[in-house]
Amino acid sequence: MSNVITLREVAGGDACLHEALRAADLPTDDIEDDGRAFFEAVSGDGQMIGYAGLEPCAGDYLLRSVVVLQAHRCHGFGRSIVEATLRDVEGDVFLATTSAAPFFSTMGFAEVRRAELPAAVLATRQLSSICPASATIMKLTRPPT
């Protein structure tokens, strides 16, 4: 199976998005709040592969809710989803993760301290109240390759 995907925007209230995030133990508390964009990733043959989200933060972005459905893991789709999600993004990109830092580091993200975050990123619900203090905060330091 090719890992070429197409992204289609979905509403934060999409039931399949909620289920995929819950199944991956990712938070859903704020996904219906205004100002967030979520995308479903579909393979060339029409199979639902996963999801990702972006939250704009005063010129920067928070990459969030990246999930590959269980049946499609370990085939390079996570990388494809992140690359497609960030393709047209200008500005710095940050994320918080409790379990996927090794994956994101292979894509050009590096760990940063919370004190280094722009105020708008730090003020997101994800970083101010939802993600645990133990979450790894990362910044994209080079384009995903």
State pLDDT tens for residues 22-36. 999 898 988 999 989
| Mean of all residue pLDDT scores within the chain | 91
- 52-106 residue pLDDT tens: 999 999 999 999 999 999 888 888 899 999 999 999 898 999 999 998 999 999 9
Q: Residue 37 belongs to what domain range? A: 5-140
**For position 113, what pLDDT does the model report?**
94
Residue 48 has pLDDT above 60, yes or no: yes
Residue 132: the pLDDT is: 86
Does 134 map to a domain? Answer: yes
Within a domain: residue 145?
no
Position 130 in a domain: yes
Does 16 score more than 90 pLDDT? yes
Which residues, in sequence order, are CB contacts of 127 under 8 Å at separation 6+? 62, 96, 114, 117, 121, 137
Domain CATH number, residue 89: 3.40.630.30
Per-residue tokens: 141:
């330091």
pLDDT for 145 equals 55
Residue 124, pLDDT above cutoff 70: yes
Number of domains observed in the structure of the chain: 1
> What pLDDT, on the 0 to 100 scale, is given for residue 73?
85
